Chains A and B, each alone.
Chain A
């Protein structure tokens, strides 16, 4: 595909597995960006009309909520993110509060930014309404997964979103980054450090996916909680898996928003075959 066209029609989605450091405790979080590009000439809200690839990752170690916020704003500026999905627990709510602040420290410099707020936040007039938090009350999640209305526990939400990510992988709708060790020295020469780290960390996504398991009963069937949710267990870290999954969920929520009607610039709408003007 023409590179210029990709750049024009690419949409980027950030998934965050948040773990801001509290006091002296050192926590590790992960951020992953996925890119959606059209797979067909006239892409619509059908996810198979799009190619979704994981293209950027970053580890966040011992960062405060404010530092997380600065990093997310920096990436929003770099990629022009269409949506962000972040864990609600694990400090996500503190990062959300920081994201609303119009002065952020980006690359060590305090500067003015457009605040990032929740998609359903009607009070913030001047802001980018692109943030979703992973909890049952999020409007975007409720729209995407109507079954959540009847869910009794957050474990059901985890099951539903993991199931969505699993289905997408099963249907080969998500492109994982080839392992870093397959890159040749010539290929890596000239790559900035951030890009090399992204390559390494995106390799980790695949590895962590392999360590995600579901507890089973003695008869081998999957064990469920009293809410009917699966019991996920991971042999080690699963932060990059969660961040990649969140990025994919952000993409799916964005697709549903398109279905509801979204007005894009005429020039872009023309490239999308008029689909975007349907609403």
Chain B
């Protein structure tokens, strides 16, 4: 008789009961498993990620997109067994430098206990992660796998043609579509790995795109408009969300300072606001997609109209008998 014993200590296991509870509350899961405290808007964002199979997040910079992405991807890997997740960045190096660093930062014991490459008889089988030239992988004890491949977008990501995954996380997707059609031509077709229930908002395969919003002339605007149309039609599988640095609250974070004081770096934001055009600022700073437009009334015309009013000494009137021009 084979007796399989989990190699994880009992107090660090994610039990079936925990999974059943945490599957419906990713925020609680992030706290219990990863000991991660999120600000209020980030908790809402994580829930959107969790329950909407096809989501676009256009939030502005400095809103913690990458961190929530990482939590979301890892929770799916831990709570959904045999989940294969793909994380795509516009360049491999940026993925290594930004996304992957969170694997080293999270020291929560329950989380660390979930990582590992297991053999068929449930024994440790080598390192929990692998760093190959073409992809970095993180293995989980429940047979889930998180892969960050090095996509060759110059060839429209054809090197990923045989890949099959359950969850696709497209980081900085607008930067990718600006130079390549790899997402639409290859990557979306990879999210076809069988799942437990493809009609369920959590179990279904997920596609999540994150990037700051862009101007209306950007190639990604057409894709964003597609999300807007689907949401307007009431498609329950689709959504788009956006947040900005203004959403940080005054709630205390783990350092004792408020989330706003800790993460809202006012001086940098001020510099960026000054250096970007108003349209670019609205897109990248505030996360608002801007339809490309040009002013209907040139500034000089409005100023001339006001100057005309000055010349005429205009003052407001409250009735026909009141004075309408300054004496």
Q: Contact between A216 and B293 (Cβ–Cβ < 8 Å)?
A: yes
178-201 of chain A: CB within 8 A of chain B: 178-179, 187, 191-192, 194-196, 198-199
Of the A-B pairs whose beta carbons lie under 8 Å apart in the complex, a sample of 19, sorted by A's number, is: A7-B321, A12-B320, A51-B312, A55-B316, A56-B318, A79-B319, A79-B320, A169-B305, A177-B314, A178-B314, A187-B315, A191-B316, A194-B318, A206-B302, A210-B297, A210-B299, A215-B292, A232-B296, A233-B291
- Does B295 touch A at the CB level, under 8 Å? yes
* A227 CB, nearest partner CB in chain B, Å: 18
* B293 CB, nearest partner CB in chain A, Å: 4
Q: Contact between B305 and A206 (Cβ–Cβ < 8 Å)?
A: yes
Q: How big is the B interface, by class?
A: 35 or more
Q: Contact between B302 and A210 (Cβ–Cβ < 8 Å)?
A: yes
**Which of B299, B325, B327 has the most A CB atoms < 10 Å from its CB?**
B325
Residues of B within 8 A of A6 (CB): 324-325
* Chain B 303-326 interface 0/1 with A at a Cβ cutoff of 8 Å (1 = within): 011101111101111111111111
Residues of B within 8 A of A187 (CB): 315, 326
Residue of A nearest to B219 (CB): A218
Contact of B305 among A7, A57, A176, A191 (CB under 8 A): A176
141-195 of chain A: CB within 8 A of chain B: 162, 166, 169-170, 172, 174-179, 187, 191-192, 194-195
Q: Contact between B292 and A55 (Cβ–Cβ < 8 Å)?
A: no
* Chain A 190-230 interface 0/1 with B at a Cβ cutoff of 8 Å (1 = within): 01101110110010001001101111111010100000000
Interface, chain B (partner A; CB < 8 A): 216-217, 282, 291-297, 299, 301-302, 304-306, 308-312, 314-327
Interface, chain A (partner B; CB < 8 A): 1, 3, 6-7, 10, 12, 33, 35, 51, 53-57, 78-80, 162, 166, 169-170, 172, 174-179, 187, 191-192, 194-196, 198-199, 202, 206, 209-210, 212-218, 220, 222, 232-233, 235
Query: In the complex, A22→B299 CA distance in Å?
Result: 36
Q: Contact between A56 and B292 (Cβ–Cβ < 8 Å)?
A: no
Q: Given contacts A6-B325, A169-B305, A213-B295, are A218 and B320 in contact (CB under 8 A)?
A: no
Q: Contact between B305 and A174 (Cβ–Cβ < 8 Å)?
A: yes
* B111 CB, nearest partner CB in chain A, Å: 44
Contact of A209 among B302, B319, B320, B321 (CB under 8 A): B302
Residue of A nearest to B321 (CB): A7
**Which of B282, B299, B312 has the most A CB atoms < 10 Å from its CB?**
B312
Query: In the complex, A131→B62 CA distance in Å?
Result: 52
Residues of B within 8 A of A78 (CB): 318-320
Contact of B324 among A53, A80, A162 (CB under 8 A): A53
Q: Contact between A214 and B294 (Cβ–Cβ < 8 Å)?
A: yes
Q: Contact between A176 and B297 (Cβ–Cβ < 8 Å)?
A: no
Q: Given contacts A170-B301, A174-B308, A176-B302, are A216 and B292 in contact (CB under 8 A)?
A: yes
Residue of A nearest to B312 (CB): A175
Residues of A within 8 A of B312 (CB): 51, 53, 175
Residues of A within 8 A of B320 (CB): 7, 10, 12, 78-80
Query: In the complex, A217→B217 CA distance in Å?
Result: 8
Inter-chain pairs besides A172-B301, A187-B315, A191-B316, 17 sampled, C-beta below 8 Å: A1-B325, A3-B325, A12-B320, A53-B312, A54-B314, A174-B308, A175-B312, A195-B317, A198-B317, A206-B302, A212-B297, A215-B216, A216-B294, A217-B292, A220-B294, A222-B294, A232-B296
* B313 CB, nearest partner CB in chain A, Å: 9
Residues of B within 8 A of A216 (CB): 216-217, 292-294
Residues of A within 8 A of B302 (CB): 169, 176, 206, 209-210
Q: Contact between A177 and B317 (Cβ–Cβ < 8 Å)?
A: no
Residue of A nearest to B322 (CB): A195
Q: Contact between B323 and A3 (Cβ–Cβ < 8 Å)?
A: yes
Q: Contact between B318 and A215 (Cβ–Cβ < 8 Å)?
A: no
Residues of B within 8 A of A179 (CB): 306
Query: In the complex, A198→B318 CA distance in Å?
Result: 8
Q: Given contacts A35-B324, A80-B320, are A206 and B308 in contact (CB under 8 A)?
A: no
* A258 CB, nearest partner CB in chain B, Å: 19
**Which of B310, B318, B319, B322 has the most A CB atoms < 10 Å from its CB?**
B318
Q: Given contacts A6-B324, A172-B308, A233-B291, are A218 and B316 in contact (CB under 8 A)?
A: no
Contact of A35 among B295, B306, B308, B317 (CB under 8 A): B317
Residues of B within 8 A of A218 (CB): 217, 292
Query: In the complex, A14→B102 CA distance in Å?
Result: 62
